[in-house]
Amino acid sequence: EISEHNSLKSFGLFQKLSAILPHNNYLEVAAWYQVKNKEIPMPMGSYGESLQAQSDSSLKVFAKWKKLFLKTSLEFKMGYNSDFLRYVDKKPGIDGEYIIDSEISTQQGYFDVNSRFFHFRNLTFDVGGNLTLIGANITSYNEPINEYRVNIIASAKYQLNQFRFLGSVRQNFNPF
């Protein structure tokens, strides 16, 4: 027996570019996009017509710039993620009317800065911070939900022959 209403259509694209620029600058950019549309068949052993379907899409973008100095490096990173999902179930015989019409979308932005200092032969220091912005929109909620997170980070590494000593401090600033 052939399963009806069971198609899957998927499309994806990924691209990454890296460049070594003059004066010890490095740049990296990437993007990823995917879309899926799936018809959901009736469960095995069930009778009737299924009109359930689910659509998903994802977008992810990333950029990084790094600059090397004589005994220091500086790095900036940025990323963005967006996901969307829609699930529908129609009433058989009635065009356009849904029993279920559920949408979920999420977004996330990420920003990071880090500087590394290696002025001494066996000692390295890192100082940096990041900001994360998160949002979600769900049809059953009355309004979008948003939050943010901020972190400040400092760390040190000391190398003595084959031994490494690591230490770090991190402070989180979250509104919840």
Report pLDDT digits (tens) over 110-135.
999 999 999 888 999 999 999 999 99
Using 50, 70 and 90 to split pLDDT, how confident is the model at 17?
very high
Cα–Cα dist 23/4, whole Å: 61
Q: How far is CA 114 from the centre of its chain?
A: 20
Confidence (pTM) = 0.80
